[in-house]
Every structure is written in C-alpha cells, then in structure tokens.
Chain A
Amino acid sequence: MNVYKDDNLLVGFETSDDAGVYKIDENKCLVQSIDVITPVVDDPYNFGRIAAVNSLSDLYAMGSKPLTAMTLLMYNCDIAGSVMHEIMQGACDELGKIGCVLVGGHTLEDNEVKFGLSVTGMIDDGKILKNNGLKPGDALIYTKSLGIGVITTAIKGEMATEDEISDVTDLMLLSNAKASEIIKNYPVTACTDITGYGLAGHALEMAKFSGCGIKFFTEKIPIIGSALNYAEMGIIPAGAYNNKYFLAHHYSFGDDNKNKEMLMFDPQTSGGLFIGVDRMNADKLVDDLKRGGYKATCVIGEAVDLTDHYLVFE
C-alpha cells in the first residue's frame, strides 16, 4: 500500500498500536482512534455508553486526554427512532462525564445496528504510552477479568442471567481513564488495551514489536467465572476461533483445559489495560490500580527472551 509519510507521525499503524500519535510540538501530541461495535447488550442506552467507553479506551491506552469525538451510527429504518436516540444519549452522557466534546457524526443505513466513535485526544506531558518498549524481566499486569466476549455471546443467545448481564455491563463501563493516570506515575515500558484480538492477540503485538517473548502465569489470569462454563457449552464467539487460528504458530499452551485456552483469544469489548513495567514496581502498581477501582488487577506474566513462540502460557 502506498502511504504518505510525515515525520511528525510519532506512532502510526506499523506497530499496531492503539492510536495514531501526531506531534504538535516538543511536549504536545494529537492522538486519534476509531472503534465501532455491534450491540453487546440489549439495552440501547447502555450500548451507547459502552461504545463510547470502548472507543475512548484507546486514547487512555496511549496516555492521552480525550478532547473531541464524532459518532458513526449504522441503523436499520425498521427500528424505532427512540432506540437510536437512546444509543446516542448513552454515548453523550459518557462523553459529558469526562468533558469530551461531541463535534458531529455520520449515519448510514444498514441491516444491522452498529455504533462507535472516532475520538481525538491530547498528550501534553510528552509521555506517550507505546506498546513496544517491553524488556525481558518486566512484569505484565492486567486490570480486568477475561471472558467479556463469551458472556456477551451468552446474552445474544438469551442464556445469560440478570446478574451476569449486570456484572458484564459494569465491567465494560469501567473506564480506563483512571488507570491511564495512575500508570503515568510509573516507569511503564509498554501499554495496550485488550479488545478485539483478545489477550493473546494484543499481547502478541506487544511482544512482536518489543522484540521479546511473554510468559503467562495462566493460573493467575483473572477470568469471569461463568465464562468458563459457557465456553464449555460451546457459547464461544466466532472471533475467538479466528483469533486462535491467526495466532496458531505463535503460542504454546501448557494447561490442558481447552476452554481456558479459548478464553485467551476471546475478543473483549472495552477490555482492561495490559501493562509492562519494571518488576520492582509491579506490586505497588497493582495496589494503586486496585485502589483506583480496578479490583481484578494482578500480575499475569513476565517478559522473557524470545524463544520458539512469542507467547508461552504456563
């Protein structure tokens, strides 16, 4: 593909990072990202909220503060206008909470409803949280539980309980804003948010562009309890299979629990932050994040010298 090059583009798509970063001056950078999703919950207002939080997550994963947003809505004319209104209002309410201005948007007709946002942020302290500075010996921390894709698939199949729906909605609405602020006080070497490619997919990007391997302490990875049960029953989104197939030669999985293995590839909507930090600071960072509201935070692995596979699940 022929692409125009500009030296002011500090982070482009070559390293599969969370957002593009464009230099304004020595300390200021403009950060841009876009994310669109299909409905993950039945309630349209919550869907709008989740879509907004999901889109903003990439800005936080780069260490930026959101400034402006534009919406992209695909809708079906057969659906009541009030539903579209609820979706938009949900998104507006989340943007309002953080002082991010909605400047416009675009709508398209489509058989299936899809909604998301293009978001723009600013880094003004010169600290860009890239995904590719991991060094062997660094601890790897994750801030949310895995299994969001499986649970939202169970919701689609009308199998999830009210509690499961409520818990996963809360999980998806947990913004990475505070986490982003907290980690800027630490010598973080790499950071990315976990979304459509699952933990394994995004971890692979981090490992590959950092030039090292990642060893996961599989037992320590937090998983939503009922997600394992649903995975056992075959309630697994197609995206998980596709992610697993795509990564086939890049990982090894030591545990013989096939369902747990699938959850490593489970696409997350509005997932947590996956953070590489010098091991000496790991425990304190975990405590700070837990106190910041990210209750599931723990060290789930460590960076190692690259061997046969980028990712090794113990």
Chain B
Amino acid sequence: MQVDARGKECPKPVVMTKKALDSVEEGVVTVLLDSEISRDNVLKFAQSQGLSADVSENNGEFTIEITKGFTCAAPAADHSEKTKGKNVVLYVGSESIGSGDCDLGKKLMDNFISNIENMEQLPFSIIFVNSGVFLSTSNENTVNSLQKLDKVEIISCGTCLEYFNLEDDLRVGEITDAYTVMKKLFDADKVIRL
C-alpha cells in the first residue's frame, strides 16, 4: 500500500501513515515524502508503534517502507545487521563539510552525522582525522549521534587529539594511529571522504 504524503503539512504525513497502517492487518506501507521533517516524524511514528522502517532517499524525496505483521515479502529491517556486505569506510578529515563558510559546514556535518543511522548500509569504520576529532570529543550533537551507532568501529587519530589538547576528551570509540588509518583506507572496498 502506498501513501503519497509529498507536499503535505505537519501532521498530515503521520496521520496518513497511521490511517494506512490501521487499515491493514499486515503488509508493507510505503510512504512517499519530500521533507526531512516529515521523514523524521513518520520514522518516529513507526518506531513508537514498534514497527521496523527502511528509509531511502532519491533527489531530495524520501521513501519509507514500514512493515507490519510477519508474512510480508519485504525483509524486516534489522539494525544490527546493516553492516553486512562491503567494507565501507567513512573518512572524516574536518569538522565541517565543504569549503566557503565554516559555520554552514559545521551545520552540514552535524546533520550528516545524525543521519548516518538512517542509512540502509552503515559504514564498517568511521575515522576522524585533523579537526574531525572535535566530532568525537567536544561536539555534543555528533557525539550523541555516534554513540547510537551499533557495530560501527569509530576511531580518532591520536596525533590529532593531542594537537588539539583533546586526548582526554574522547567520548566515543577508540584512539588510533596513522598506520592503522592507512591500513583501513587501503583495505576498504569503498571510502566515503568528507
């Protein structure tokens, strides 16, 4: 069953999703959305009902597949198994994304890190280097987001932590060295570089 909630104002997307789920005993309800806010609200709703939900994005539009019951064909999303498959490494070399405006870059990074948990395939490792180490130490928002990532290896460059006087402030993951970082990058199937 498909619900097209694109262009709909809060709380219509959640209300439409609820109505659709109430109308079926079991099955997959696919919700089409075009805003991050609606996406987050519908995801919250699905989680509050104890239902699994898969999110995908295409050109700024989101599709959420919510599974109700247990005889549906779509595999139930199992968050702890998301890392199967390719060895994907996320390399974060700065606390901000892009160049130009630093404040904008930091906001973009906060959003990126907070959205990792919604991705279908989580990275195997996340490596923080240079000013990226602020994200695993003093940035409350990103620390909270990273702490939620199950079975993802999170490592921060020791030299960089010392350089910024953060060696005692690591709040998530482990300290690593330059050789380990190199090895992980060379061994990876895919490296996403921010």
Interface residues of A (CB under 8 A from B): 153-154, 156-159, 231-238, 241, 245, 248-249, 252-253, 256, 308
Contact = CB atoms under 8 A, between A and B. Distances in A.
B140 interface: yes
Contact of A157 (B11, B44, B49, B138): B11
Given A248-B110, A253-B140, A238 B48 contact: no
B106 A249 contact: yes
B71 to A, nearest CB: 25
A35 B75 CA distance: 50
10 contacts: A156-B11, A157-B11, A234-B42, A235-B11, A236-B41, A237-B11, A238-B35, A248-B107, A249-B103, A253-B140
B15 A158 contact: yes
A248 B140 CA distance: 10
Contacts of B62: none
A277 to B, nearest CB: 29
Interface of B: 9-12, 14-15, 35-37, 40-45, 48-49, 103, 106-107, 110, 138, 140-141, 144
A238 B37 contact: yes
The 8 closest A-B pairs by CB, nearest first: A234-B44, A234-B41, A234-B45, A157-B11, A157-B15, A252-B140, A241-B37, A233-B48
Main secondary structure on chain B at its contact with chain A? helix
A272 B42 CA distance: 30
Interface of A is mostly: loop
B140 A233 contact: no
Nearest to A252: B140
Nearest to A231: B44
A154 B11 CA distance: 7
Contact of B43 (A231, A234, A237, A245): A234
A256 B106 contact: no
Contacts of A237: 10-11
Contact of A256 (B43, B44, B144): B144
A233 B141 contact: no
Contacts of B110: 248
Contacts of B106: 249
Given A232-B48, A233-B48, A248-B141, A241 B40 contact: yes
Contacts of B41: 234-236
Contacts of A154: 11
B83 to A, nearest CB: 23
A156 B9 CA distance: 10
A159 to B, nearest CB: 7
Contacts of A253: 140
Given A236-B10, A241-B37, A159 B44 contact: no
B14 A235 contact: yes
Contacts of A158: 15
B43 A157 contact: no
A153 B10 contact: yes
Contact of A153 (B11, B48, B103, B140): B11
B40 A238 contact: no
B134 to A, nearest CB: 12
A69 B162 CA distance: 62
A232 B15 CA distance: 14
Nearest to B17: A234
A252 B141 CA distance: 8
A238 B12 contact: no
A213 to B, nearest CB: 15
B12 A157 contact: yes
B17 to A, nearest CB: 9
A152 to B, nearest CB: 10
A182 to B, nearest CB: 36
Nearest to A261: B144
Contacts of B36: 241
Given A234-B11, A235-B14, A249-B107, 4 more contacts: A234-B40, A234-B48, A238-B9, A252-B140
